[in-house]
Structure 1
Amino acid sequence: MQLIITDAWLARTRAVHLSGTKLVLAAVAASMVMMLLAAAMYHWVFLKGARERWPVVGTLVRFVVQDEFEQRDRFMRENLDAMARRLGDMQAKMLQLEALGERVSGLAGVNPNDIKVNPARGGMLVEGRSLTMEELQATLNDLEQMTGERTDLLTVMESRLFDQRVKKMMLPTQHPLSTGGAGSNFGWRIDPFTGRSALHTGLDFQADTGTPILAAAGGVVVASEHHFAYGNMVEIDHGNDLITRYAHASKLLVKKGDLVKRGQQVAQVGNTGRSTGPHLHFEVLVQGVPQDPQKFLAAARSQPLQAAMAAPAGPRPR
C-alpha cells in the first residue's frame, strides 16, 4: 500500500510505502491503544459514578458488591456447617469415650469423680440452626478441655492397670512344672524318714530327673544353694514378703541376685537332700510362714489370693 501526503503550504509531496506486515502491526497497535483508552475511561467513569453516587452506576456497584458478599457468605456458611457437623461427631465420640473410661476405671480401681470430665457447654452440634463462629470456637475450647481431662484420667487408669498387672505377675500362680503328677499335699503327714507326724510345708510334684522347674512368678533369686534337708534349692523373692522355694533339684540354673520372669526355668527336678525319689518340693512363704501352695496355684481371682496370704501362720520348716 502506498500513501501520498501533500503539503499545500510548502507545495511538497511525500510518499509512504506500507507493507502487509506494517499494516498488521499498525492495526494491532491501534487496537491496543483503543482498548487501554476504553479501560481507562470505564475505570474513571465507574469510580467517579460510585463516589458521586450516580443512579445507574451506584445501582450497578451495589449489585456487584452484594452478589460478591452473598457468594462469600454462602461459602463461609457451608464451611461453618461442615465444621459444625464434624465437631458434633467428635463430641459424640468424646462422650462415648467418657462412658468407656468410666467402665474401665472400675477395673482400674479409680474413682472417675476424682478426675471428672465436664460436659461441653454448647451441647451437641447437630442442631436445627446454623452456628456462629463464636459458638464453634466455644465448642472447640470445650473439646480441648475435655480431651485434656480425659487424657489425665486414662493416664491414671493406665498406671493403675499396669501396677495391677505387675502385682499379678509377682504372685506365684504359675505351675512350677509343665509335666508331672501331684504327690504329697501341704499339711500334717507321717514323715517317711522318722515315721512320726510332721507338717509337710509344701507341695510335692512327682517327675523324672531333669524335668524343667519353672518360676511360679517373677522375682529376684535370693538363694541358690545346697541345703542339708532341701538338697539343691532355689528361693525367689517376689516382693511383699512373698517367697517361693524349689527343692531337691538335680541342677540349679540360676544364681543369687538373678532377675527371673514368670515361667522361666530355674532348675531341674532331682532327688537331692531328704528325698525318697525324684520330685519337686514347692513351697510358698508369706513373711516366712509356709502357706498352702495349692491356694495360689488354683487361684484365678485376687480374693482367694488375699485369703491365702492372710491364712493363719504355721510352724516354720526345720
Structure 2
Amino acid sequence: MQLMWLSGPTGQVKSVSITARNILVAAGALAMALLLLGFALNWVGLRVAVEYNPDLARSLGGVTTEAEQLRMESVYRQNLRQIQSSMDQTVQDVKKLEALKNRFMNLATPAGLKDKAPALQNAKGGPFVLPNLTQNWMGQIFKQPLQTELQQTAEHVHSVNQLLALQQQDWQQHLTWLEALPIALPIQGEFKLTSGFGVRNDPFTGSLAMHEGIDFAAEIGTPVVAPAQGQVVRSEWDATYGNVIEIRHAENFITRYAHLSKRLVTVNAMVQSGALIGNVGNTGRSTGPHLHYEIFQNGRALNPLTVLPATTR
C-alpha cells in the first residue's frame, strides 16, 4: 500500500510505502518503548515506597532501606539482650534452688550417715524430664519468623524463671519448717548413750523411777547445741537439773538440757539450729559428766530417740 500527498498548490507530490515489514518494526518499537516505560515507573515507584512506605516496598519487592535494616537489627539485639539477661537469672535461680535443696538434705540426713559415705555425696541420677510448662514451646518456636522466635523465647524463659521462683519459695518454706523442729543432735563431739527413756533403776536410790529423757555421757566442756531454731524460755540453776536450759520450738516442742557446766544463753534469746548454748557438765543430781536431754510436745514427754536420727540409737 502507498500513501501520496501534496505539500501545497505548487508543491511536489510525496509518497510513503506501507508494508507489513514497516508495520512490524513500528509495533516492535512501540512495545519496547512501553516496556521501558513500565520498568522506569516500577523503579521510581519502589524508590518512593522505600522512602515513604518501607512495609509496602518489602511486601512488593523484598526491598529494605539501610535505616530499616538498622532498626530491625536494633530490635533483634534488644531481644537477644533480654533473653541473655533472663537466662542469667535462670542460672542464678537454679543455683539458689540447688543450695536450698542441699541445705534441706543436710538437715534431713542423719549426721552419722553423712560421715559414713563422703565419697558418695555426688552420686545422683534419674530420668531426664523437662519442666512441666504450659506448652511444648521448644518444638514450635523455631517454626516462626525470627522476630516472633525471639519474642517467644524471651516469654518462655521468663515463664521458666517464674516456675523456678515458685519452687524456690516452696523449698524455702519446707526448709524453714524443718529447721524449726528439734530433729538434730544436741551435742557435738564424742559421746555415749548411757541411759534411755522410760522406767529405770534410779542411780542414787536403786528404786524404779521414770526417766523422761536420755543421757549422753561425754567429757566436761563438750559443746551442747540447739537442735533447731527457737526461743530460750529457761536458763537457770536447779537443784535437780543443775545448770539447765529450755528452748521452745515450732509445733509446740520444748527441749531441755540439764547438768551443764556452763549456760551460754539467756531467757528470751533467739537461737538458730546448731547454735552453741552450753557445755556438758556434772552439776545437779548427777553421777558423772553427761548431758540429760528431754523433748516435750504439748506438755507431754517424748522419747528423744523417736525424734533423733536412727544412727544415734
- 1:118–1:291 Cα change, 3 Å: same
Aligned residues: 217
Distance 1:245 1:219 in 2: 12
Residue in structure 1 matching 2:186, options 164, 173, 176: 176
Q: Which amino acid in the other structure matches residue 263 of structure 2?
A: L
Q: What is the TM-score when the length of structure 2 is the normalising length?
A: 0.57
Question: Structure 1 residue 245 and structure 2 residue 256: aligned?
Answer: yes
Q: 1-side partners of 2:62 and 2:167: how far apart? A: 51
In structure 2, C-alpha distance between the alignment counterparts of 1:56 and 1:212, rounded to whole Å: 100
* Partner residue, 1:186: 197
After TM superposition, give the deviation of residue 216 of structure 1 in Å. 1.3
Q: Aligned partners of 1:149 and 1:223: how far apart in 2?
A: 49
The SS at the match of 2:215 is strand
Match of 1:124 in 2: 140
Asked if the contact 2:265/2:278 (under 8 Å) is kept, the reply is: yes
Deviation at 1:253, TM superposition (A): 0.6
Deviation per residue, 1:42-63 (Å, 9 max, x gap): xxxxxxxxxxx98645523424
Deviation of the 1:174 alpha carbon: 2.3
AA at the equivalent of 1:272:
T
Q: Cα–Cα, structure 1 residues 203 and 122, in superposed 2: closer, same or farther, change >3 Å?
A: closer
Equivalent of 2:39 in 59, 70, 74: 59
Aligned to 1:8: none
1:142-196 CA distance string (max 9 Å, x none): 964x566655544443332111101111122222222222211122210112211
Structure of higher RCO (CA pairs closer than 8 Å, 6+ residues apart): 2
Instruction: Report the secondary structure of 1:71's partner residue.
Output: coil
Separation in structure 2 between the aligned mates of residue 213 and residue 242 of structure 1, nearest angstrom: 18
The answer for unaligned runs of 5 or more in structure 2 is 1-32, 51-60, 105-131
Alpha-carbon contact 1:120-1:143 (below 8 Å) kept: no
Give distance in 2, aligned partners of 1:234 and 1:299: 25
Query: Relative to structure 2, which stretch is displaced further, 151-160 or 65-74?
Result: 65-74
Q: CA deviation at 1:73?
A: 9.1
1:142/1:251 Cα in 2 relative to 1: closer, same or farther (>3 Å)? closer
Shift in Å at residue 131 of structure 1?
Answer: 3.9
TM-score relative to the length of structure 1: 0.56
Give the C-alpha shift of residue 234 in structure 1. 0.4
Q: Unpaired segments of 5 or more residues in structure 1?
A: 1-52, 109-115, 301-318
In angstroms, what is the RMSD of aligned CA positions? 4.0
Q: Is the 8 A contact 2:184 2:309 kept in 1?
A: no
Amino acid of the residue matched to residue 294 of structure 1?
A: L
**TM-superposed deviation, 1:140:** 3.8
Cα distance in 1 between the residues matched to 2:228 and 2:184: 6
**Aligned equivalents of 2:254, 2:310: Cα separation in 1:** 17
Matches within 5 A, 1:1-318: 56=36, 58-63=38-43, 69-72=61-64, 118-119=134-135, 124-127=140-143, 131=145, 136=148, 140=151, 144=155, 153-179=163-189, 180-298=191-309
Residues 224, 278 of structure 2: 8 Å contact kept: yes
Q: Distance in 2 between matches of 1:214 and 1:121?
A: 51
SS in 2 for 1:162: helix
**Residue type at the aligned position of 2:295:** V
Q: Provide the rounded CA distance (Å) in 2 between the counterparts of 1:194 and 1:132.
A: 87
CA displacement at 1:219 relative to structure 2:
0.9
Q: Distance in 2 between matches of 1:246 and 1:209?
A: 14
Change in CA separation of 1:275 and 1:121 when aligned onto 2, cut-off 3 Å: closer
Q: How far, CA to CA, are the matches of 2:283 and 2:203 in structure 1?
A: 15
Q: What SS does the corresponding residue of 1:217 show, helix, strand or coil?
A: coil
In the alignment, is the contact (CA less than 8 A) between 1:120 and 1:142 conserved in 2?
A: no
The 2-side partners of 1:122 and 1:176 are apart by 50
CA distance in 2, matches of 1:150, 1:70: 37
What percent of counterpart residues are identical?
33
DSSP-derived class of the 1:223 partner: strand
Q: Secondary structure at the match of 2:244?
A: strand
Is the contact made by 2:242 and 2:259 (CA closer than 8 Å) also made in structure 1? Answer: yes
